[in-house]
Amino acid sequence: MTPAAGDDFITVPENLEDGRAFLQVRIALFGRLLAVMTTLFLIGSASSYFLLTPDPSLTLRLSLDKYDLLAIALFLGLWALTRRGRLPLGLLRGLEAGVSILTCAGYALMVQGSTQELNLLVPVLAAMAVLMTRAMIIPTTPRRTFAISLVACVPFVVSAYFLARDIGAETSIPSILGPTVYVGCWLGMITALATLASRIVFGLEQKVRAARKLGQYTLVARIGQGGMGVVYRAEHAMLRRPTAIKVLPPEKMGDENVRRFEREVQLTSQLTHPNTICIYDYGRTPDGLFYYAMEYLDGFTLTELVELAGPLPPARVAFLMRQAAGSLDEAHGIGLIHRDVKPDNIVVCARGGAADVVKVLDFGLVKAHHSPDPALSQADALVGTPLTMSPEAFLEPGSVGAASDIYALGAVAYYLATGRHVFQATSLFALSAMHVGEPPEPPSQARGEPLPEAMERLILECLAKKPADRPPSARELERRWAALIDGGWSSDDALGWWQKHQADLATRRGPRSATPDRQTLVPFEATVPVER
């Protein structure tokens, strides 16, 4: 079994804390589910009695039993308790076992004073519902389920013996033991079924656990998907650090795609700039699934940043763009062209005590000069994101070079400064015509307030139609962006902004529980590459 593109891995946490949290969630579900089931049973029972004997007082006396009410109280108490903060693992295990055993003991006491042996079968079936629900909801070993079920069934055997003795006081010992053995057979079947159910559920979870492993990494939750891979949050078996794993989906495991995917990680791993995403490892599973591991970025894409904060202060634009330009400068220096620079492929995060740290990622469309395999470089394909693609990327895809990345970075800067893209259209044809022949609206006009003249000039220079009219290199671009910061946005300013918006980041992370994080920290699904 291998992870597919649509899988969300939500069970069998690997580390102790996630395992404890997962158990607490499932015990809460167990308590709530049985409280609802028991209440619905009582409502149905009362309705049936009322239809047969329309006497409210008689109906209540016949349908309501103190032990049923006790069971509901226990289930609701278990649900309420497990919803309040972090409970120790030992306490959680004691609670689920204790409530299961006490509830069954209460059902066994229901028959005291009865005059019919048949009355014992109703609480036996109720105990069966409790034990089977526990086996299917709460993750536990078959041995533990067997032990708890056996202990929970003992009170029924005792009740069956005394009930048979009281009903037939003059009968022989074998006659008394007959009903006891009969009930014991029922209870043995219940224990066996609960143990079998627990074994099946536990076995399936073990298989899921194995399927979630890629080498030394354990997949936790899917966080993104793009044209060339699915991205999961994962953990290393020994280091326990959060990691992002990109996996080539099984349906794309053709030879060319595998070579391209492998080439992507090999090229990206050459990059060591602090503003480029770091590649940790890559490999294949025994069944041939290709994956690579990279650093996990807990922050905002530039798209999300603008959606949250609106157009950014000019100095902050320069602060972020200087870092992105530095990342591209290293790539260009070793002959790599990104070809898909866009707001969704640049993440801003807090790293090592510093804030507003830029990470350029997703070099999946990277092009290497003098590629040994021209087919892998897609030289004849229209590749990239139309909102930030350069004119030459539309006209002559094979001529795309470093200047195209500079154009795209200018489009990103325009977006940060104005809160809108350079061009917007309803069709790819109209958008390409704008990039090729239409001058962009000056950023100050799009923003609705003046920008520093040097910044406006630099953005428009990056967006020049001819590559020769743009800044000559990413290094030059980095230098010019650095000059534009001019003390207007410092590390302290960045840190203050992040402290102010911790709640926004926490909302995006989702609750830290056994359920998967509702994160899209590296949203590869934002735009799928356009090819023709």
Instruction: List pLDDT tens digits, range 210-243.
Output: 455 666 777 777 777 765 677 888 877 677 778 8
* CB-based contacts of 383, cutoff 8 Å, min separation 6: 339, 340, 365, 393, 397, 400, 529, 530, 531
pLDDT at 381: 43
Task: Say which CATH architecture domain 214-295 belongs to.
Answer: 2-Layer Sandwich (3.30)
Residues 83, 87, 89, 92, CA torsion sign:
negative
Find the helix packing angle between 142-167 and 173-211, rounded to 10°: 160
Higher pLDDT, 118 or 186: 186
pLDDT band at 60 (very low <50, low <70, confident <90, very high): low
State yes or no: pLDDT of 522 exceeds 70.
no
pLDDT band at 57 (very low <50, low <70, confident <90, very high): low
**At 280, is the secondary structure helix, strand, or coil?**
strand
User: What residues are labeled active site?
Assistant: 340
Nearest residue to 181 (alpha-carbon basis) of 105, 120, 130, 107: 120
State yes or no: pLDDT of 68 exceeds 60.
yes
Higher pLDDT, 190 or 18: 190
Rounded CA-CA distance 379/377 in Å is 5
Rounded CA-CA distance 363/365 in Å is 5
- Looking at domain 299-523, its CATH class is mainly alpha
State yes or no: pLDDT of 121 exceeds 60.
yes
Rounded CA-CA distance 218/210 in Å is 9
> Could you read off the pLDDT of 349-365 as tens digits, one per residue?
988 888 899 999 877 54
pLDDT at 375: 37
Residue 481 contacts residue 458 (beta carbons within 8 Å): yes
Rounded CA-CA distance 285/335 in Å is 31
Per-residue three-class SS string for 242-276 = EEEEEECCHHHCCHHHHHHHHHHHHHHCCCCCCCE
Which range, of 187-196, 490-499, 515-524, averages the lowest pLDDT? 515-524
* CB-based contacts of 468, cutoff 8 Å, min separation 6: 403
14: left (phi over 0), alpha (psi -120 to 50) or beta: alpha
Residue 24 contacts residue 268 (beta carbons within 8 Å): no
Which range, of 56-60, 182-186, 497-501, averages the lowest pLDDT? 56-60
pLDDT band at 343 (very low <50, low <70, confident <90, very high): very high
User: In percent, how much of the chain has pLDDT > 90?
Assistant: 26
pLDDT band at 3 (very low <50, low <70, confident <90, very high): very low
Instruction: For residue 335, count other CB atoms closer than 10 A to its CB.
Output: 14
The domains of the chain are located at: 16-211, 214-295, 299-523
